Amino acid sequence: MDLLNTLVDKGLRRELPTRDEALAVLATSDDDLLDVVAAAGKVRRHWFGRRVKLNYLVNLKSGLCPEDCSYCSQRLGSTAGILKYTWLKPDQASDAAAAGVAGGAKRVCLVASGRGPTDRDVDRVSETIKAIKDNNEGVEVCACLGLLSDGQAERLREAGADAYNHNLNTSEATYGEITTTHTYEDRVDTVQKAHAAGLSACSGLIAGMGETDEDLVDVVYSLRELDPDSVPVNFLIPFEGTPLGKEWNLTPQRCLRILAMTRFVCPDVEVRIAGGREVHLRTMQPLALHLANSIFLGDYLTSEGQAGKADLEMIADAGFEVEGTDQVTLPEHRAAGGCHDGGGACGSGGGGACGSDAAPEVSEPRTAPDARTDLIAVRRRGAGTDLAPNA
């Protein structure tokens, strides 16, 4: 396909595809799916070889969030039967992190529910970062604590944090339909604060919330413009007891197209398959490794994931290797900080500014697949429990 040849050439040059090209990837047929995966796989291997970076989540504080994000089992008004607990102590969090590191994780992601941290919360997390780094040589730590106030990103950086995660989640045009207690601009501001403080910015999306192809392209283009080092792609886990509990809009094939589109638009960043891969990709997870160079190991914040041992076997069987702590994840031009100039997309070449192309026609709604509620299990082990974690 001429489209795929063009996208590969642009990906190898870090050139921004046009919106029409990105939309065309999402519109490809199932007959062309393997060609799409193969093309995006060339871009992935060019920048990241066959390495897979493993990340491990530690939920420092679960549930009881005052925000109303419709996708979240920890939201205000959620009746999902998730674990609820207040802040883990630094040694508890360090023990949980150690299980992930022992399983091969290179980065530990510290997450806490809530609108954003107080200064006392930043102190708690700073103590936790120190405990984790003292006990696990070479581990990266990413914090995900919500909206940041002035000076908090700098304090986290001084405490030893390597990165900060705050997802855009969906397009600016539809953000107000998903969340009303904060704005899309609030999220952009927090990512920019992380950048400015010298933290590696991590920001991604959630697919499967009823969005259109245009929404998906919009949010990925916005991410390209923000220029994070890593882009986690979440697939909605439709928890019963949340407003989106009946949104089953994804097939394995659509998930692969979304990952491929993200890779073409963000060719040289760490694209991470995040929550929901087991629920929506299912047996096609190994194909997704040809598109993304990073995954979460084991369980998620409030739901169970694939067994850590199965993750490692999947990576090996697919012909990939786990990235070691002695290996640099990002390409040299990114690892050296050369892309974070605050001026938009890195290496945009002649691709034009985000949204510069003529608006395409709105995509047709797709037939929803059958719900697979049997694949959703609430996490009952690991952080916040007396049971061993899944790592």
Active site residues: 65, 69, 72, 109, 142, 202, 272
DSSP 111: E
Q: Which residues contact 101 (CB under 8 A, 6 or more apart)?
A: 56, 108, 136, 139
The rounded Cα 162 to chain-centroid distance in angstroms is 16
Q: Nearest to residue 328, comparing CAs of 51, 46, 12?
A: 51
The answer to whether 302 and 82 are in contact (CB under 8 A) is: yes
The answer to whether 260 and 291 are in contact (CB under 8 A) is: yes
Helices (H) and strands (E) in the chain, counts: 14, 10
Q: Which residues contact 36 (CB under 8 A, 6 or more apart)?
A: 4, 25, 28, 256, 257, 260
SS3 348: coil
The two structure tokens encoding residue 118: 């107080």
Angle at 329 between CA 327 and CA 334, to 5 degrees: 125
Q: Nearest to residue 235, comparing CAs of 170, 297, 187, 283?
A: 170
Q: Which residues contact 239 (CB under 8 A, 6 or more apart)?
A: 73, 78, 80, 82, 245, 302, 303, 376
Q: Which residues contact 44 (CB under 8 A, 6 or more apart)?
A: 263, 271, 290, 291, 292, 293
**Beta partners for 322?**
52
Tokens 């993304």 found at: 292
Q: How far apart are CA 175 and CA 218, in angstroms?
A: 11
Tell me which amino acid residue 79 is. Answer: T
Dihedral of CA atoms 148, 152, 156, 162 in degrees, nearest 10, equals 50
Burial bucket for residue 72 (CB in 10 Å: 0-12, 13-18, 19+) = buried
Give the chain's radius of gyration (CA, Å).
19
